[in-house]
Chain A
Amino acid sequence: MTVEPLVLGALERTTETDVIIIGGGATGAGLARDCSRRGIKCVLFERGDLATGATGRNHGLLHSGARYAVTDRDSAKECIEENYILRKIARHCVDETDGLFITLPEDDLEYQKNFIKACQDAGIAAEALEPKDAKELEPSANPSLIGAVKVPDGVIDPFRLTVANMLDAVKHGAKCYTYHEVMAILKEGARVVGVRVLDKLSKEEYEVRAQVVVNASGIWGTLIGSLAGVDIKMFPTRGTLLIMGHRINQLVINRCRKPADADILVPGDTVCLIGTTSIPIKFSQLDTTRVSYQEVELLITEGAKLCPKLTTARKIRCYAGSRPLVADEADTTGRKTSRHLVLMDHEKRDGLSGFITITGGKLITYRLMAEKATDLICEKLKLKVPCDTATAVLPGSGESPDKILRKVAPLAPTVRAAIVSRHGDLAPLVESDTPSASSLVCECELVSVGEIKHAIESLAVHNLVDLRRRVRIGMGPCQGELCVGRATGLMTAAKLCTPDKAPGELASFLEERWKGIYPLNWGETIRESEFVMWLYQSICGLTRADSPNPAPPEHLEDEAPTESP
């Protein structure tokens, strides 16, 4: 069977459709998939690239729900159900690692008993391990642990997941427009009839009409709501994570206690991530997520309690995202938030028809959120089509890696393994049978020329940073030192960039990397960043003037944590 090529980005403009989805995170992409599979015409508008908000800025944890079992059984149940669904429908995005909840001498071992009971009540397989067995299972875990529980946690790649959902949506007729910002919500009386979008690449604005507009823009949902004239109260809370240079742990390591800061260490692809913090921020700070040294220090200190090796292992970068925490509408004080998915029918809530908001929730519940929202859309469009997203596998997840491996035959077996791990059963679409196609662009993450060409041609890549989200270039320890120059060349060859704009493209990629490096720029990290600077600035002559944002960055001062708005 040959693999059918899919092209993610839509070329033609759409002016009329059934449903407009605002936001290209996991939820938006999941919605596009669900709608299109149910035969509803839909278009998705994303102001940047796919998975740039909270979707791409979390642990990538395939929650078993154990973390919520004690405090929030409903969430826990949702998690474990979605967990097993995603293992089946998105297996090329999932790493079935399992997870440990460890009890340290300073923790209360009593909590473990409640925890196991709560997990069992929620339907989560939780197995208590002897400390000796736990240490054997996960040698990097703190050796002073006095108890451990094994749960079916796992890891999920949010970028790959979002792209796979969008590919399936496109396959079923949906249209995907990245770099399209919604400037206005069009209303006729008490009815939303469409949106006016700005194509940020051509700088042109145009109107698109639809029967239903869905606000799936995460924490930015408040702003979209205000464009429609409805008040959605949200509390942006920054969560910061720190990435280590290699995969230290093989299982997810959690603390068996009431959830707190920096108590989850997740092995993600070639790295591992410790997080998170939880700091309330202002809406004005949403698009300038900065990380402070204090947060980094907290992550290292607390993280080392899970896994002592974190103190010595190299840190490569940090990043922060904003949780889409929504005010609990039942709570009159307006300060309580919910971690549940929140579906708002603005017709019932605000008397504004044709407008829906889906927000809250977690990465792992994106599919369920999409299902609930699509059910409501169907109701509004008077359709009765059942949802099949829990059983239909995503593009890429159709076949087992062993079978796919036999269909791909590049020269180096490691390159082949990398392509299959990132593209699943779509791997045969990646050109890999010539020495030049299988030669490496990104050596840390084993990204070949063929894979970059595939991403450029079919995965809606507009710049180097988009390319990174598709194929992991520049996500390894050197943060773009070797690959970014080579990738710029390939982008230029593909006419996505011109030779005169290439230095700017290169500079903005390096600046984006630098944002995540500077708060932890010491030790091995500073040796690397100095080396990159030496290469690009001193040898290649790249200067700040080449950057599209030549103003000096404002990140050099730490901001104090702010009050919630």
Chain B
Amino acid sequence: MNPLLSTNFDACTKCTICTEYCPVSQVRPAFAGPKQSGPDGERQRLKDAAFYSEALKYCTNCKRCEVACPSNVHIGDEIALARKKFAPYNLSPRDAILSHTDFMGSMATMAAPIVNFMANLAPTKFFLDKFLGIPSWRSFPRYANKTFRAWFSDNAPDQSVYKDTVTLFHGCFVNYNNPSLGKDALKLLNALGVGVRLLAGERCCGVPLIASGFFQDALDNATTNKASIEKALENTERIVIPSSTCTMTLRDEYPEVLQIDNSSWRDRIDLLPRYFYRLLEEGRELKFKPMEKVVAYHTACHMEKLGWTAYSIDLLRLIPGIKLILLPSLCCGIAGTYGFKKENSPTAQKIGEPLFDLIKGSGCSLVVSECETCKMQIEMCTGLPCENPVTILADALI
């Protein structure tokens, strides 16, 4: 919808429940909270740009406010749109590095062993901390030696044997850091009798670019992805994605924040567990071997926004012997690249503390989450492994 005609924020009844649910408001008083920054602020900003507050950058774009809102106000989108309209152009090299995942990923994977080695050296960490503002105590995701795409074209089994095919939007994390998750997805899809294709041209969904204020770059990526997706959907039924954030971005951020029209294919973008669930409902089967583990399920913020945790939970319960603990839905604080920024990292850690305590006290040996940055944060802060449900299901597959 044309944002000029949108009166969505008018629906706000000022009940303030969004601010109650905002992870940032609880720990960072400088952030006025979603109600003030979103619907209230919008009225002021329409009057005069002087009412734009720089503090809007403290929003993590977690969308918990939108889930909490009883009036269906797109609060998080409004904050993002206000930043798009009013924030000065982001000149920070640190933010450019953190958010341009495709560029960084393709560079780093070319020399992954060196990059991974270097990244954990004390002088590197010192430099990143002092000159770029990435805290030295943070651990960085390791880069893979070979991208998932390269592996897929060289090593993937022949996918043409399957009658049904689906297109996998692997996402940056799978491509550059965690190709094994992509392989797991392939394994499960094949086991369900579905062949896999990749998009002809896949770029980062754009969410880190939106978060750091690189709206034009995000729009460029989205435009490329839209063309690739529309092409792919001529031959395959659906686009499936392992990451909750990429899924949410393609479905909701594209139309709401980037004004990319996805109305003809939004419903054909699926999170992998939801797609598996669909296939099982159709009567297809997956056989799992027992797994005697205590596993804690963490609801990532964007999973909360999608509202699809039930699919993952039901699937995990198909594994015999698994003891599944459902953690209360709390933000881990990392929010993509947010927690990697030095000025935000104390906030990120404070937000995550209650969740880390719950995980550590739960007696679990493994955490599950569909979000790749929750994985980084939880692994660093609890010392426990955190995996996508796709990986756990693939491991248990007979």
Binding site for B on A (CB under 8 A): 139-140, 245-247, 267, 269-270, 309, 312-314, 401, 412-414, 417-418, 421, 440, 443-444, 446, 476-478, 481-482, 524, 527-528, 531
Contacts and interface: CB of A to CB of B under 8 A. Distances in A.
B72 to A, nearest CB: 11
Contacts of A482: 14, 16
Given A245-B7, A412-B32, 12 more contacts: A140-B4, A270-B46, A312-B5, A314-B7, A401-B50, A412-B55, A413-B53, A414-B53, A444-B14, A444-B43, A477-B14, A531-B13
B23 interface: no
B15 interface: yes
Interface stretch (B34-42, B262-270, B344-352, B390-398): B34-42
Interface of B: 4-5, 7, 9-16, 32, 35-36, 40-44, 46-48, 50-51, 53-55, 71
Contacts of B55: 412
B7 A414 contact: no
A414 B10 contact: no
B13 A313 contact: no
- Across the A-B interface, the 3 shortest Cβ-Cβ residue pairs: A314-B10, A478-B14, A247-B46
A443 B36 contact: yes
A491 to B, nearest CB: 21
Contacts of A246: 7, 9-10, 42-43, 46
Contacts of A309: 5, 7
B7 A313 contact: yes
Contacts of A267: 47
Given A443-B40, A444-B40, A414 B12 contact: no
Contacts of A446: 40, 44, 51
Contacts of B36: 414, 440, 443
A37 to B, nearest CB: 32
Interface core residue of A267, A412, A414, A418 (most chain B CB under 10 Å): A414
B48 A421 contact: yes
A478 B15 CA distance: 9
B22 to A, nearest CB: 14
A69 B32 CA distance: 47
Contacts of B5: 309, 312
Given A414-B53, A443-B35, A443-B36, A312 B48 contact: no
Contact of A481 (B9, B14, B51): B14
B9 A414 contact: no
A417 B14 contact: no
A246 B51 CA distance: 14
B213 to A, nearest CB: 18
Nearest to A416: B50
Contacts of A528: 13-14
Contact of A443 (B7, B14, B51): B14
Contacts of B32: 412, 414
Contact of B12 (A417, A440, A477): A477
B71 A477 contact: no
A219 B15 CA distance: 40
Contacts of B50: 401, 417
A417 B13 contact: no
B38 to A, nearest CB: 12
A99 B47 CA distance: 15
A414 B44 contact: yes
Contacts of B16: 482
13 contacts: A139-B4, A246-B9, A246-B42, A270-B47, A313-B7, A314-B7, A414-B51, A417-B44, A418-B51, A444-B43, A477-B14, A478-B14, A527-B13
Nearest to A271: B43
A138 to B, nearest CB: 11
A444 B10 CA distance: 12
A412 B44 CA distance: 14
A421 B51 CA distance: 10
Nearest to A401: B50
Nearest to A139: B4
A482 B47 CA distance: 22
Nearest to A250: B46
A247 B53 contact: no
Contacts of B35: 443
A503 to B, nearest CB: 21
Contacts of A524: 10-11, 13
A267 B15 CA distance: 26
B13 A478 contact: yes
Contacts of B9: 246
A413 B42 CA distance: 15
